[in-house]
Structure 1
């Protein structure tokens, strides 16, 4: 049976999601929600740089519900818990890339609201992306090679200069003096979804954490940087090297490290070996490197969108409520090209 899909918003990640839905033989794009009145009434293909698809975007929430989709790919820059609750209560599964893994980063109250709404609607809510999301799933899968685990670590490194979102970087403290009061807390709050990921991994490994710690370090611009979409003055933050640690008995059992930089003039001049390294201390030890060839697709956003699209069949079949990756069956590519 074909699964009916609605795309929520048409930004860069959402545009990649639309392409993936069209390529998946088990999915049908039946609608699209947009915030902008200028986009409402337009063909989704036109909005995503594709040929016309015969699917019209709308800003009418009730119209989306009236389409009776099986699932909404929820991909706004800023999430709205009330909207998510309405979708779930209407019996529509929701898969989100909007800073969502377990929902705890939204606050315990909203996490409970979302779970309750999904249970009432008899549907599932799932969060993913590339990191957090798929990177954690790859690390957990690698851990299956081990009899015992002392520590599992995932290290991300990326030159993010091409990620043209001034709002994101400003929220993380980029462009601010490194001694700005509250800078570390600001970065922590903007990255709370990684706390979700640490807790999700602990749950998958069946361990109870004593606490989750976040420790950031900053790189500072050695000259004025003009990135086109934002300016970073000399002496202000242009790099962030932070680590989230799940602690048991005073020792880290789970580590998620994030090394991001903007521009080519920073002190300290951290090397950026693009991609992810998963390290598992245990019996036996394991180490793997996970790289994504963004040049082949031309879209960095695709690596965030595709784990969500490919998870659709598993999520639609899952139990009602909030679900995590370790509760789902193996998720793999939904569209495979064969022949010449």
Structure 2
């Protein structure tokens, strides 16, 4: 590649910080802009915001100023996506890689998805979404499936004590902190995690499955005492854990399952055991079991880096991709290029 890929980092939150650091460290990428959500961060050096020396790039909340830097790619990592922002970025000819609840765009409805597609075609740009899960874990499952002559069911289970993920807004949006019998909790969880359903759709597309239905089921665990996590509080009897499943069904049979078991702390009932990782299981010929797990214990658990890095590593492939909404199985292999410590 004759010149670096010009990148804007959109947000410097929990996931945005390791993403920005990785952009700066990557030999094929050049940081040319930084968007911030908070007025307090505006005008600060991007390096300062992520614990690096000054980089000479100032954070801004002005999207036009960012697009004026002529980025090739925007690393779009707000807490929640906004269609108007994404359309504007794509129409400006900038590719998007995103961890903001985006896999296929189906969740936004036909009209909004069509806007994204049209914007990408107009700008000659592409958009790709993922993270660790949904995203990387689904890719691992698809790669594992290549060893099978027959697949009866393929499942991905994320089960973690997610306490180190210090984002109260994320957990509250899913329903953590509500009473376990609050009727608003299940639909809130389903609405707040639409990218999991999109990941089921993506896997079904890759596996050439015509799905009849995608079903959502959820159950909760209650805090057994008042819990103070430092970044949020959960009252006794309120949701401190959940287990949910999105299942793709054909003729009433589940053929793909994406399952999540999250808990905040250990003071909850039931206190489900967790793998602190991602378990891929395939029932078929042959049966396959893969555990993708970060080692080093709870203190070393780094979900933010695990979420950010698959997107940073995908930037060169997305930059080279044709215009449109790109699915993981449509890209060349994404590996941890330029990260080996020699």
Say yes or no: TM over 0.5: yes
CA deviations 1:206-262 (Å, max 9, x no partner) are 111001001101111122222222222222211101111000110001001100011
- Distance in 1 (alpha carbons) for counterparts of 2:271 and 2:37: 40
**Structure 1 residue 19: Cα displacement:** 1.2
Do the aligned partners of residues 236 and 336 (structure 1) sit closer, same or farther apart at CA in structure 2, a change above 3 Å counting? closer
- Distance in 2 (alpha carbons) for counterparts of 1:298 and 1:249: 40
1:313 aligns with 2:316: yes
**TM-score using structure 1 length:** 0.96
In structure 1, the partner of 2:62 is 60
1:111 aligns with 2:110: no
Which has the larger displacement, 286-295 or 194-203? 286-295
SS in 2 for 1:164: coil
SS in 2 for 1:49: coil
Do the aligned partners of residues 131 and 294 (structure 1) sit closer, same or farther apart at CA in structure 2, a change above 3 Å counting? farther
Do the aligned partners of residues 274 and 16 (structure 1) sit closer, same or farther apart at CA in structure 2, a change above 3 Å counting? same
| Among candidates 177, 193, 199, match of residue 197 of structure 1 | 199
Consecutive unaligned residues in structure 1, runs of 5 or more:
none
| Among candidates 136, 157, 160, match of residue 158 of structure 1 | 160
CA deviations 1:281-321 (Å, max 9, x no partner) are 11211111101247797743111110110000110111110
- Distance in 2 (alpha carbons) for counterparts of 1:38 and 1:219: 37
1:217 aligns with 2:256: no
Contact 2:95 2:125 in 1 (8 A): yes
In structure 2, the partner of 1:29 is 31
In structure 2, the partner of 1:82 is 84
| Among candidates 314, 339, 342, match of residue 336 of structure 1 | 339
Consecutive unaligned residues in structure 2, runs of 5 or more:
none
Contact 2:151 2:285 in 1 (8 A): yes
In structure 2, the partner of 1:10 is 12
Do the aligned partners of residues 297 and 25 (structure 1) sit closer, same or farther apart at CA in structure 2, a change above 3 Å counting? farther
CA deviations 1:173-217 (Å, max 9, x no partner) are 222222212321111111111000000000000111001001101
Contact 2:164 2:301 in 1 (8 A): no
